[in-house]
Amino acid sequence: MRFSKDAKKKQWFILLLILGLLAATAFSGCAPGPEPEGNGAEAPVDEAEEVDEADEAPAAYTGDPLQIYAAYGGLQEIMDAFTADTGIPVEFISMSSGEVLSRMRAERGRPLGDVWFGGGVDSFMVAAEEGLLEGYISPEAEHIETRFKDPDGYWTGVSIVLVTFVVNKDLAEELGIPIPQTWEDLLDPDLQGEILMPNPGISGTAFTAMASIIQRLGEEDGWEYLALLDENIPYYAERGSEPPNKASLGEVMVGISPDGVNAQREGYPVEVVYPTDGTAWWHSPVAIIAGTPNLEAAQRFVDWTLTEKGQEILAYNSPRPATRPGTPIPGDVPALETLNLVEYDFEKAAAERDAIVERWQENFAK
């Protein structure tokens, strides 16, 4: 059948119209349209956009370095670990308890430090009484026994310090003197000039040892004992680290110290003696200095020292029993139940601290 030219044109027009409609339909199927309702399926979520706030990395610390007054061993390693965990930089000054207390008194109202870390708890009690400390109860403090913390959060114990004799075994053999095992043994006249202890006016170790002797023996006998001990002491060290260092090097035979284990670890020929007639002890606290402008960072430091990880780091770098139950302690640190610990009244010692130190200075300061 043959078509006229007009019929052919009409057929082409219809075909092009149909093709155009098909193309428009196909294109409209690719374009986004409204989501179907009521189909029971959830739209997929872009995982890159769904970020849990708890999983976000903490914001970088931008504040000032934390300023710490410290009377503690292994400080650099401890502070490095804290900074690695929190991103908070630290600057610290190693000072005895008495020095920290004197400095805080001088800086009252305009503190240069943020945290007091370590030292004699009696000094912390005095500082709290004088309004030099900021009350803060850390969430981690619930794990610490009541006897090791202030009820108002002015200080919290982080470790148990044991007052020991660091005895140079080589020198003892050379001098032919038995290694002393008790405080009474230190009165041996053969030990004249061979015993070193810190100044109790500035050292928490020495003050606790002295106050423990007075409490254990009674006022009169205690001071009489200290007078006899003084005869064997050539001078009183200005740093708590000096007596064990001198004993380790053989410059004296006995150093009264809380840090004898470190000397053993470093390979010195010393024996660490825990006096069998009464081992003096105290809980070494951490506290926030009143008026610190860096309060949040100071609180984070307190929190960290009381965590399981922080307690283990403290116990390893400054070998002492921890205050948090269950914290692993090094094998060269004795368990508390194996020792004859002095029954020590901390509040009494704190209340009498200034009077005891003043009497000691009048009679024995050299």
- The domain spans of the chain are 62-160+281-330, 164-278+357-364
Q: What is the pLDDT of residues 51-83, one digit of tens each?
A: 344 445 556 888 999 999 999 989 999 999 999
**What span, in angstroms and rounded, lies between the C-alpha atoms of 194 and 255?**
8
**What span, in angstroms and rounded, lies between the C-alpha atoms of 179 and 156?**
36
Q: What is the pLDDT of residues 161-171, one digit of tens each?
A: 999 999 999 99
| pLDDT of 42 strictly over 60 | no
Instruction: For the chain, give the mean pLDDT.
Output: 86
| pLDDT at residue 335 in the model | 85
The model carries a pTM of 0.73
| pLDDT of 21 strictly over 80 | no
Q: What is the pLDDT of residues 201-237, one digit of tens each?
A: 888 889 999 999 999 999 999 999 999 999 999 999 9
| pLDDT of 38 strictly over 80 | no
Q: What is the CATH number of domain 164-278+357-364?
A: 3.40.190.10
Which segments of the chain are extended strands (E)? 66-70, 90-94, 115-117, 133-134, 156-162, 164-168, 195-198, 236-237, 254-257, 270-273, 281-289
Percentage of residues in the chain with pLDDT exceeding 90? 71
| pLDDT of 20 strictly over 80 | no
How far is residue 366 from each of residues 100, 230, 360, measured CA to CA in Å? 22, 10, 11
Q: Which two tokens stand for residue 29?
A: 């199927």
| pLDDT at residue 100 in the model | 95
Q: What is the pLDDT of residues 107-151, one digit of tens each?
A: 999 999 999 999 889 889 999 999 999 999 999 999 999 989 999
Amino acid code (one letter) for 5: K
Mean pLDDT of 298-317: 97
| pLDDT at residue 57 in the model | 52
Residue located via tokens 């405080």: 183
Q: Can you name the CATH fold of 62-160+281-330? A: D-Maltodextrin-Binding Protein; domain 2 (3.40.190)
Topology agreement, domain 62-160+281-330 and domain 164-278+357-364: yes
